[in-house]
Amino acid sequence: MVAAGETMFTLLNPAKVIVEAQLYDKDADALRDAKQFQIECSNNDHLSRAVRLLALPNSINPTNQSQKVLFEVDNPDGDFKIGEFVNIKLFRQTSQRQLTIPNSAITEISGMPAVFIKQSAERYTLRYLNTGQDNGSSTVVLKGMEEGERFVTAGTYQLKMVYFNQ
Q: Express each pLDDT in 34-75 by its tens digit.
A: 888 888 887 766 678 888 988 877 778 788 888 888 899 898
Q: What is the pTM of this model?
A: 0.54
C-alpha span between 91 and 78 (Å, rounded): 25
The CATH number of domain 99-164, selected from 1.10.1060.10, 3.40.50.720, 2.40.420.20, 3.30.2320.50: 2.40.420.20
- Domain segments of the chain: what residues? 16-92, 99-164
Can you name the CATH fold of 16-92?
Answer: Elongation Factor Tu (Ef-tu); domain 3 (2.40.30)
- Are 16-92 and 99-164 in the same CATH fold? no
- Over the chain (166 residues), what is each successive 10-residue block's mean pLDDT? 86 83 81 84 76 83 84 87 84 78 88 89 87 83 88 86 83
Q: Which residues of 86-106 are buried (b: 16+ CB within 10 A; e: fewer)?
A: bebebeeeeeeeebebeeebb
